[in-house]
Structure 1
Amino acid sequence: MKNKLVLKETTDLYEVVEALDRTGIGALALVDHDERLIGILTDGDLRRAILRKETKIENIINKSPAVLLYGTPKQTIISKLKQLHRRHIPLVDVNGLFVDLFAIDNIDFVSRDNFVVIMAGGLGTRLGKLTEHKPKPLLNIGDRPILRHMIEHARDQGFRNFLLCVNYKKELIYDYFGNGEKYGVNIRYIEENKRMGTAGALSLISKELLEKPFFVVNGDVITNLDFDDLLVAHRKTSSIATMCVRSYSHEVPYGVIECKKNGEIIDIKEKPQYDFNINAGIYVIDPEALKVLPSDTFYDMPQLFIDLKRRNFDIGSYSIDDYWIDIGKPQDYEQAQKLWSLIDGLI
Structure 2
Amino acid sequence: MKALVLAGGKGTRLRPLTHTSAKQLVPVANKPVLYYGLEALRDAGITSVGIIIGDTGQEVRDAVGDGSRFGLEVTYIPQDAPLGLAHCVLIAKEFLAEEPFVMYLGDNFLVGGISDLVDAFRRADHDAQILLTRVAEPQFYGVAELGSGGEIIRLEEKPEHPRSDLAIVGVYIFSPAIHDAVKAITPSARGELEITDAITWLIDNGFRVHSHMVSGYWKDTGRLQDILECNRIVLEQVEPEVNGSVDGLSEVTGRVIIEQGAVVENSVLRGPIVVGANTKITSAYLGPFTSIGSDCVVANAEIEYSIVLDGSSVVGVSRLARSLIGRNVEVTSAAGTPNTHELMVGDHSKIKVRA
Residue of structure 1 aligned with 2:99, choices 212, 223, 229: 212
Residue of structure 2 aligned with 1:134, choices 13, 21, 45: 21
Distance 1:235 1:150 in 2: 20
CA contact (8 A) 2:108 2:219 kept: yes
CA contact (8 A) 1:115 1:210 kept: no
CA contact (8 A) 1:214 1:285 kept: yes
The corresponding residue for 2:208 is 314
Q: 1:222 to 1:251 in 2, by over 3 A?
A: closer
Distance 1:250 1:118 in 2: 26
CA contact (8 A) 2:89 2:179 kept: yes
Alpha-carbon distance, 1:207 to partner = 4.0
The corresponding residue for 2:84 is 197
User: RMSD value over aligned CA atoms?
Assistant: 2.5
Query: What CA deviation, in whole Å up to 9, does each residue of 1:97-126 have, x standing for no partner?
Result: xxxxxxxxxxxxxxxxx1111111111101
The corresponding residue for 1:290 is 179
2:13 equivalent to 1:118: no
AA of the residue aligned to 1:289:
I
2:198 equivalent to 1:304: yes
Where in structure 1 do 4 or more consecutive aligned residues deviate above 4 Å?
Answer: none
The corresponding residue for 2:62 is 175
AA of the residue aligned to 2:194:
D
Residue of structure 2 aligned with 1:341, choices 235, 247, 254: 235
Distance 1:135 1:172 in 2: 7
Distance 1:149 1:162 in 2: 14
The corresponding residue for 1:276 is 165
CA contact (8 A) 2:110 2:219 kept: yes
Distance 1:333 1:275 in 2: 26
Distance 1:176 1:229 in 2: 28
Q: How many residues align?
A: 213
Alpha-carbon distance, 1:225 to partner = 4.1
CA contact (8 A) 2:44 2:118 kept: no
Under a length normalisation based on structure 1, what TM-score does the superposition of the two structures give?
0.57
Distance 2:85 2:24 in 1: 14
Instruction: Report the identity percentage.
Output: 23
The corresponding residue for 1:255 is none
Residue of structure 1 aligned with 2:44, choices 137, 140, 157: 157
AA of the residue aligned to 2:165:
F
Unaligned segments of structure 1, at least 5 residues: 1-113, 253-273
Q: 1:116 to 1:334 in 2, by over 3 A?
A: same
The corresponding residue for 2:223 is 329
- Three-state SS of the structure 2 residue aligned to 1:316 is strand
Distance 1:180 1:115 in 2: 14
The corresponding residue for 2:117 is 230
CA contact (8 A) 1:244 1:318 kept: yes
Q: Which structure has greater helix proportion?
A: 1
Q: Which has the larger radius of gyration?
A: 1
Q: 1:232 to 1:147 in 2, by over 3 A?
A: same
